Structure 1
Amino acid sequence: MKEREQILIRASWISIIGNAILSILKMGVGIFAGSLAVLGDGIDSATDVVISIVTLFTARIVSRPPNSNYAYGYEKADSVAAKVLSFVIFFAGMQMLLSTGKSIIFAVPRELPSTIAIYVTLLSIIGKLGLAYYQFRQGKKAGSVMLIANAKNMRNDVIISTGVLCGLFFTFILKMPILDSITGLLISLYIIKSSIDIFMETNVVLMDGVKDTSVYSKIFDAVDRVPGAVNPHRVRSRQLGNLYMISLDIEVDGTLSLNEAHEIGNKVEHNIKETVDVYDIIVHIEPKGKTHHEEKFGVDKNSLSDKLR
């Protein structure tokens, strides 16, 4: 947990400093060069600074140990922060959409941007590529959906800056400053779309679901490898960061002693932990062959097979 906290904090600080430099540079050049697209790109980088501050704050929260109020710990703060990031990105995109849309609709007279806008955009693409790659690697290493969401946002920034560069290029070739505004409009729509994508991705974890349902097949395979354990059912799994909370029922021979049944349950737990990254696991043991009422919750082999068809 300590190592994970350090990864999150270090990645957040690097993101804050890198994006602050790029944001100040792009907004300054955007105003000086008269390019709405570059200015909008700079505003987007400014939101990345806010996003990174959120990730820094969240890194302090997720590392807190469980307590009586939060018995499972604070891991879900990571997903909550990613949800907050989606709103920040959305409002930045809407702001840019309104400003560029207004300049197009009301045909505001524009001059050709200065060529310095091209050079700062090239620099932005290189810088954002480095930041996105670093954030994604650290997010995978720490199992943080928050850092991975931030990396995806920066990847989008690379696409945005590439769009700005293309817009500037054609603006200078065709001598039509309106192309700069149109590029800014398209960029704003892309920003809004990326915010919606991040918002939807975090729903699964916050709704106590799992993104990769193959985890259930791994659980069933782990149970099958334990002699004496049969009929795994009412299997439930949810995510806390990159770890899984798992609970399941298994059946054993009803004539076994409590110690023998308990040992089988321990072997099931051990096998599952060998193939799944587990935060916590509960194995409930039942006597074999008892009639079960239809369960409202959980997954069994039959229901999983139906979903995979």
Structure 2
Amino acid sequence: MDQQMRFDNLKLGERGAIVSIIAYICLSSIKLIIGFLADSEALKADGLNNATDIVASIAVLIGLKIAQKPADQDHPYGHWKSETIASLVASFIMMAVGLQVLVEACISMFQGREQAPDLMSAWAGVFCAVVMYAVYRYNKNLALKINSQAVMAAAKDNISDALVSIGTVIGIIGAQFNIPWLDPLTAIIIGIIICKTAWDIFREASHHLSDGFDEEIIESYKDTVMNIEGVEDVKEIRARNYGSNAVIDVILLIQSDLEFQEAHDIATKVEDELKKLANVYEVHVHYEPFVTERGSAVGTIV
């Protein structure tokens, strides 16, 4: 994948963030208005969650825009990590909201409720759950298509919100059967779900920013290298993430009696084959003489 295509994918990713922003503006307004009219703590908590999700989605949108900036003197590898930073910011916002929802729901439960919320709030929750699930499907498919960590984080937030809305409906309906405390109890569960989703996004983003990498994917890179003619073994292979792009460092072992041009051609072939993989942006190849089990190099370096 060439650099222009990667920038085009980031541009497509903006659509997902914009769709999320529009959906959250509309749904948070519906939930907050009906939540106050129907006196539903769970629906108000859900609406507050969506309201702050607007900020999180804006952070994702900004991150995607910054990630499109070309490399410069201060960022020789480009600004790809801005996408991951945006996911990290989104997780902080979600965690803050989740904790706030938990605190308010606990206070509401201990204060007690005299009556159940109006059933109108349940219908609002059903409608919002359906809409948010549709947004989730759109963003998930888009994230898989363009291999975007930020858009996938937005999709995870979307499905979390859809599940939260379903939980809200269950709590409201249950409250109709003379157990009004079920509504604030559902709000507590909502807060826990929000915090769990925020933690998952934070863990993945921080893993990428600290140069963590999936070992299974590294093994797949190694298999690709080992299938190239002229490569005797792989001494070391490492990878790190730049946004949704991978940068690979690999040390090859090749026969030491090869001509310089032959060794260079093998290294170039390794680089080309790895760059054919969808998420690989840059490859750094170093090669050393292959050593037999007895400890001697094969051939003589030319």
Alignment map for 1:15-94 (pairs within 5 Å): 15-94=20-99
Aligned residues: percent identity? 28
Partner of 2:226: 224
TM-score computed with the length of structure 1 as normaliser: 0.88
SS at match of 2:239: strand
**Aligned equivalent of 1:193, options 196, 202, 223:** 196
Q: Which amino acid aligns with 2:287?
A: I
TM-aligned CA distance change 1:46 to 1:284, over 3 Å: same
Q: Equivalents in 2 of 1:242, 1:180: separation in Å? A: 40
Query: Helix, strand or coil: the match of 2:134?
Result: helix
State how many pairs are aligned.
Answer: 288
Deviations 1:228-279 (A, max 9, x none): 3222112111122332211111122323222121111112223333456321
Deviates more, 1:32-41 or 1:183-192: 183-192
TM-score (norm 2): 0.90
- 1:167 matched to 2:171? The reply is yes
Q: Deviations over 1:70-108 (max 9, x none)?
A: 11111111111111111111111111111111112233x
Residue 216 to residue 8, structure 1, CA distance change in 2 (3 Å):
closer
Query: RMSD in angstroms over aligned alpha carbons?
Result: 1.8
Is the 1:215–1:276 contact (alpha carbons within 8 Å) kept by the matching residues of 2? no
Is contact 1:218-1:275 (8 Å) kept?
no
Residue from 182, 186, 197 that aligns with 2:185: 182
Q: Which deviates more from structure 2 when the two are superposed, residues 71-80 or residues 273-282?
A: 273-282
How many angstroms apart in 2 are the aligned matches of 1:185 and 1:216?
Answer: 40
Contact 1:78 1:146 in 2 (8 A): yes
Find the counterpart in structure 2 of residue 10 from structure 1: 15
Aligned to 2:289: 287
In structure 2, the partner of 1:208 is 211
Match of 2:118 in 1: 114
Q: Which residue of 1 aligns with 2:298?
A: none
Distance 2:168 2:145 in 1: 32
Q: Please list the CA deviations of residues 97-156 of structure 1 after superposition, one character each: whole Å capped at 9, or x if unmatched.
A: 11111112233x433212211111111111111111111111112211111111111111
Equivalent pair of 2:11/2:65 in contact (CA under 8 Å) = no
Query: Is the 2:147–2:279 contact (alpha carbons within 8 Å) kept by the matching residues of 1?
Result: no
**Structure 1's 181 and 227: CA in aligned 2 closer, same or farther, altered over 3 A?**
closer
Aligned amino acid, residue 21 of structure 1: C
Gaps of 5+ in 1: 292-309
What do residues 26-74 of structure 1 show as CA deviations (whole Å, max 9, x unaligned)?
0000001100001001011112211111111112101011111111111
